[in-house]
Chain A
Amino acid sequence: QTVVTQEPSLTVSPGGTVTLTCASSTGAVTGGYYPSWFQQKPGQAPRALIYSTSNKHSWTPARFSGSLLGGKAALTLSGVQPEDEAEYYCLLYYGGAQVFGGGTKLTVL
């Protein structure tokens, strides 16, 4: 059973920078895992932010960026805004199927 692990929770101050990571139980995450990132606020559907490691959708704010960092997929928020408080999920590809991470609850305080 493949497990994708994210930090359960992180706290960041407004205007600060925070990096969320996404690790695979199978080993280092590479571009071949097509890492994607999603934001979900309470009571809302998820919203796509990043695909294929670092590509942004047309609606993705510039302060969000995706990368590979130390064998993990990473989502960095620079200049965090209060409205960025949400749950963030990564999604990885495993040769014919995909698996979501458990999510990171980001608190802006």
Chain B
Amino acid sequence: EVQLVQSGAEVKKPGESLKISCQGFGYSFTSHWIGWVRQMPGKGLEWMGIIYPGDSDTIYSPSFQGQVTFSADNSISTAYLHWISLKASDTAMYYCARSLTGDRWSIDLWGRGTLVTVSS
């Protein structure tokens, strides 16, 4: 079955680092862009950016540039979203989403999300 499996919920303190994951199954992982989307509690979706696992090319939303880092490990078909120093305002659900092959701007598949809670 084609799916994106995200890592489990995290509870962290402000200032801590965190890396969450998104593993692709059932398709050629290096042939599709993977995007990250934030949804703060009770709010709408926010596009964070995308990464192409084939060559690690990345595009960040200006709103998230410098705040997070995307990476990928093709040997295990996994994309990552990384924070060096979390803030309370990073508390949100984070979704990964796959784009259609050959069309980076068209999402077709979503992961179930990783809930990140940052609290002292």
Contacts and interface: CB of A to CB of B under 8 A. Distances in A.
B55 interface: no
B44 A47 contact: no
A45 B47 contact: no
Contact of B44 (A45, A98, A102): A102
A97 B107 contact: no
User: Which size bracket describes the interface of B in this complex?
Assistant: 20 to 34
Interface string A60-81: 0000000000000000000000
B70 to A, nearest CB: 14
B45 A103 contact: yes
A83 to B, nearest CB: 18
B109 A91 contact: no
A36 interface: yes
From DSSP, what is the main secondary structure of chain A's interface residues? strand
Interface residues of A, number: 24
Given A38-B107, A45-B95, A45-B110, 11 more contacts: A36-B107, A45-B111, A45-B113, A46-B37, A46-B110, A52-B103, A89-B44, A97-B59, A98-B105, A100-B46, A102-B44
Interface of A: 34, 36, 38, 40, 45-48, 51-52, 55, 57, 87, 89, 91, 93, 96-103
